[in-house]
Amino acid sequence: MAKRNGQTITLDKKIYINKYAAVGGKKEMEGPLGQFLDLTSEDNKFDQPTWEKSESKMQELAIKALIKKSGYSPSDIDIIFGGDLLNQCIGSSYGVRNLSIPFAGLYGACSTMALSLILATMSIESGFAKRSIGVTSSHFCSAERQFRFPLEYGSQRTENNQWTVTGSGAVLISKEKSDIYISRCALGKITDYNISDMNNMGAAMAPSAADTLLNFFKDTNTTEKDYDYIFTGDLGSVGKKLLITLMNAEGYNLENNYNDCGCIIYKSDDKDIKSGASGCGCSAVTLCTYILPKLQRGDFKKVIFMATGALMSPTSSQQGESIPGIAHLLVLEREE
Amino acid sequence: MAKRNGQTITLDKKIYINKYAAVGGKKEMEGPLGQFLDLTSEDNKFDQPTWEKSESKMQELAIKALIKKSGYSPSDIDIIFGGDLLNQCIGSSYGVRNLSIPFAGLYGACSTMALSLILATMSIESGFAKRSIGVTSSHFCSAERQFRFPLEYGSQRTENNQWTVTGSGAVLISKEKSDIYISRCALGKITDYNISDMNNMGAAMAPSAADTLLNFFKDTNTTEKDYDYIFTGDLGSVGKKLLITLMNAEGYNLENNYNDCGCIIYKSDDKDIKSGASGCGCSAVTLCTYILPKLQRGDFKKVIFMATGALMSPTSSQQGESIPGIAHLLVLEREE
């Protein structure tokens, strides 16, 4: 049985990441990770008539690509843990509905990929499942329409804005031995530092990331030096700087081995991007096309993957509410 | 470790429901379960300026009442599994944010109470938590505004309409011995029988309930006769009749020991209600004010609690999509 100390769970026996798959749109294809995508769509529509249906299709394609790679069939998968940013999480429910696999719907905003992996790990550790999948998605066009303005409106973007990733990532987890395993994880607490600027999510989420990371370091008696690399997703460049500052004030130095998924997935000279990438799909795609491949190749031995979410809605913001944040963390290691 | 057969998990050692608490609005207070509510609000506002904030407040009050009853403090609780119907699940995130307890956000529409209890059970079984809380909420006024029309519009209700419960229920789960335990559970698959009438959710969800219940009976080699009572939530009277018919066609007779939470919570002569109650709060409040007290008093020895959800959004319906359903199931038993 897993052991809990503070917020941190240490797994008794290794639980493995067996396979992973990612689907992305045109801009994601043109970025530095594009060559590692399993599937893409030139017009971001994935043969669907609406942006919401395109997003669901991406989740379905990511899961199907994952199951195919693994050599299993859908009936070999016990539970899918999935979520997205859309109202009532329709990206996931319509994405998963044709697969006939038991489904647990999640909502953690952009932290959902880490949430899905932690709960999938829990399902294996408890015996509730033999094989589980964690999956998330986001789509630039469905997110813009829902959270900001329809694309046709042509609204201006601020310098602190982040660009929602069009993509989906899916990961298969089981006790079957593989190259990468999960050794520890921590579910975060909601924190709220009274940020209310919907165009500056990085600032709202950085304190949550600091909270989870500080508690994790204390619980495990480790520091940033014990990990080859630390990844957050998706603070963007504004939130990333803020997290470095916050951690520095507590005596930790993230200058050398830390980056944010929102600063990795797109070309660094892409002028659309502003403060970086975001969306449930950002950390999912970066995990499946960059972090996990690097672990598999042995470029990293031990990394922290911590996804962060801003738990607001347009309604809560219109009602003058601040933006609560959350960050969930996993330690991913290369099998010796 | 728990054992899985088909979709069904059988727990190796008993996991207990230690305490439970429920909060409800005026109509819920006036219904037959009103006397068992821990807290209410005459104007359904719970001292808040907006309906969304009122809903969050209900969740906070339900969790605080639960923790107080249990004799613990918030720091004794390891994980809260919570969800609601609002866009981006703000009912839960703003409800939980002041508690400083690790949080896993869920979305399962009206199935969320069963989903939260199953994942909370999983967290205990795996050692990820020593004590976990499952919680959900819904509010008539925030749901009407979001899914249908603002109350001020005074829209007409159809005969198949259900009335969204204003309420929240919270349940504490651990291995600490108590009067009620969870012996089995099953996460459902998404089913879609091409129902697209947003005013007839019962018809969309009944096939999902039948799917989960049939698989469960087969997995466990049991029938309706092995349980004192079976509760669904929230099919309403239309969906309830449909489930009885669907199960009858498969050789099971639900005429004698089955009811739906949506047909229990309000007075039977209340003309507002139409086809019954619904919302994440309906099965949560009925569980905490009726089903669990009856188990505790020994009126029931063994019941099935199966919450059902319609996984649509106004956007998916406007785009012509049908309504996928899901149903998650637990077996709750009285300790000898």
> DSSP letter string over A62-112?
HHHHHHHHHT--GGG--EEEEEESSGGGHHHHHHHTTS---EEEE--GGGH
Residue with tokens 């599937």: A39
Judged against a pLDDT cut of 90, whether residue B265 lies above it is answered with: yes
Asked if B321 and A94 come within 8 Å (Cβ–Cβ), the reply is: yes
**Distance between CA atoms of B182 and B180, rounded to whole angstroms?**
7
- When pLDDT is averaged across residues B133-150 and rounded to a whole number, the result is 91
CA-closest candidate to residue B294, choices B328, B331, B334:
B334
Q: What's the pLDDT tens digit per position in B155-206?
A: 777 777 889 999 999 999 999 999 999 999 999 999 998 988 877 888 889 9
User: Which of B194, B62, B201, B178 is closest to B124 using CA atoms?
Assistant: B178
In whole angstroms, what is the distance from residue A275 CA to residue A140 CA? 15
| Of B50, B125, B191, Cβ closest to residue A126 | B125
Task: Tell me the nearest-neighbour CA distance from A326 into chain B, angstroms.
Answer: 8
Those residues whose C-beta lies under 8 Å from the C-beta of residue A300, and which sit 6 or more positions away, are: A228, A229, A291, A294, A334
Domain coordinates of chain A in residue numbers?
Answer: 3-174, 180-334
Q: Identify the pLDDT of residue A251.
A: 98
Disruptive mutation site among B63, B90, B198, B208 for chain A (greatest number of A CBs within 10 Å) = B90
The answer to whether the Cβ–Cβ distance between B127 and A314 falls below 8 Å is no
Q: Which residues of A touch B322 (CB under 8 A)?
A: none
The rounded distance, in Å, linking the Cα atoms of A317 and B86 is 14
Give chain B positions within 8 Å (CB) of A103. 187-190, 326
Distances (CA, A) of B321 to A49, B74, B160, B186, B317: 12, 42, 19, 27, 5
- The number of CA neighbours under 13 Å toward the Cβ of B287 is 38
- The answer to whether B104 contacts A100, with C-beta atoms less than 8 Å apart, is no
Q: Which CATH architecture fits A3-174?
A: 3-Layer(aba) Sandwich (3.40)
b/e map B54-85, b = 16+ CB within 10 Å: bbbbbbbbbbbbbbeebebeeeebbbbbbbbb
Start-to-end C-alpha separation, chain A:
22
Mean of pLDDT values over B263-270: 91
Element (H, E) at B118: helix B112-125
CA-CA distances (angstroms) from residue A47 to A44, A57, A220, B316?
9, 9, 47, 17
Q: Is the peptide bond before B272 cis (omega within 30 degrees of 0)?
A: no
- One-letter amino acid for residue B113 of the chain: M
Contacts of B324 in chain A (CB under 8 A): 93-94, 97
Would you say the C-alpha torsion A195, A198, A202, A205 has a positive or negative sign?
positive
Interface test with B, best of A107, A175, A189, A312 (most B CBs within 10 A): A107
Residue from A52, A77, A93 whose CB has the most chain B CBs within 10 Å, to mutate: A93
Cβ separation A12–B127 shorter than 8 A: yes
Window A:57-116, CB contacts with B under 8 Å: 78-79, 83, 85-90, 93-94, 96-97, 100-109, 115
Distance linking the first and last C-alpha atoms of chain B: 22
Shortest Cα distance, chain B CAs vs residue A76, angstroms? 10
**Does the structure's ipTM exceed the value 0.95?**
yes
Q: What is the pLDDT of residues B41-67, one digit of tens each?
A: 999 999 999 999 999 999 999 999 999
Would you say the CATH fold of A180-334 matches that of A3-174?
yes
Question: Cβ(B208)–Cβ(B191) under 8 Å?
Answer: yes
Nearest CA of chain A to the CA of B323: how many Å?
9
How much helix, strand and coil, in percent to the nearest 5, is found in chain B?
40, 25, 35
Of A4, A125, A312, the CB nearest to B130: A4
Cα distance between residue B177 and residue A93, in whole Å: 37
pLDDT at B104: 98
Taking CA–CA distances from B115, the nearest residue in chain A reads: A104
Residues in chain B within 8 Å Cβ distance of A129: 4
B278 pLDDT higher than 80: yes
Distance CA A169, CA A61 (A): 10
φ, ψ at A247 (rounded to 5°): -70, -35
Give the residue among A120, A112, A110 at the shortest CA–CA distance from A182: A120
- How much is the mean pLDDT over chain B? 95
Percentage of chain B lying above the pLDDT 70 cut: 100
At B229-258, the pLDDT tens digits run: 999 999 999 999 999 999 999 999 999 999
CB distance from A214 to chain B under 8 Å? no
Above 90 in pLDDT, residue B95? yes
Closest partner residue to B324 (CB to CB) among A9, A49, A94 is: A94
Which residues on neighbouring strands pair with residue A69, listed in sequence order?
Answer: none
Q: In the 3-class helix/strand/coil scheme, how is A220-263 assigned residue by residue?
A: HCCCHHHCCEEEEECCHHHHHHHHHHHHHHCCCCCCCCEEEHHH
The helix (run of H) or strand (run of E) holding residue A21 is strand A8-24
Digit-by-digit pLDDT tens for chain A (336 residues) are 899 999 999 999 999 999 999 999 999 999 999 999 999 999 999 999 999 999 999 999 999 999 999 999 999 999 999 999 999 999 999 999 999 999 999 999 999 999 999 999 999 999 999 999 999 999 999 998 888 887 877 777 777 788 999 999 999 999 999 999 999 999 999 999 898 887 788 888 999 999 999 999 999 999 999 999 999 999 999 999 999 999 999 999 999 999 999 999 999 888 888 889 999 999 999 999 999 999 999 999 999 999 999 999 999 999 999 999 999 999 999 998
Q: What DSSP string describes A114-138? A: HHHHHHHHHHHHTTS-SEEEEEEEE
CB A146 within 8 A of CB A85: yes
Q: How far does the CA of residue B121 sit from the closest CA of chain A (Å)?
A: 9
Residue B130, min C-alpha distance to chain A (Å): 8
A249 touches chain B (CB under 8 A): no
Closest chain A residue to the Cα of B211, Cα to Cα? A100
Eight-class DSSP state of A57: H
Mutate to test the interface with A, among B80, B107, B211 (most CBs of A within 10 A): B107
Inspect the interface and report whether the beta carbons of B88 and A87 lie closer than 8 Å. Answer: yes
- What's the pLDDT score for residue A269? 86
For B191, which DSSP code? B
Long-range contacts of A290-299 (CB under 8 A, 24+ apart): A290/A33, A290/A36, A290/A264, A290/A265, A291/A231, A291/A332, A292/A17, A292/A20, A292/A171, A292/A180, A292/A332, A293/A36, A295/A179, A295/A180, A295/A332, A295/A333, A295/A334, A296/A179, A296/A180, A296/A334, A298/A334
Q: Do A311 and B93 touch (CB under 8 A)?
A: yes
Q: Are A81 and A134 in contact (CB under 8 A)?
A: yes
**Unique residue bearing structure tokens 């505790």:** B296
pLDDT at B161: 82
Beta-bridged to residue A327, according to DSSP, are A308
Q: Choose the closest CB to A189 out of B101, B118, B312.
A: B101
Of A2, A94, A313, the CB nearest to B90: A313
Residue A192: its chain B contacts at CB < 8 A? 97
> What letter does residue A155 receive in the DSSP assignment?
-
Q: Which of residues 271-330 of A touch B (CB under 8 A)?
A: 311-316, 319, 321, 324, 326
pTM: 0.97
CATH superfamily of this structure's domain B180-334: Stage V sporulation protein AD (3.40.47.40)
Which residue of chain B comes nearest to A79, CA vs CA? B187
Task: Report, as an integer, the average pLDDT of B121-138.
Answer: 98
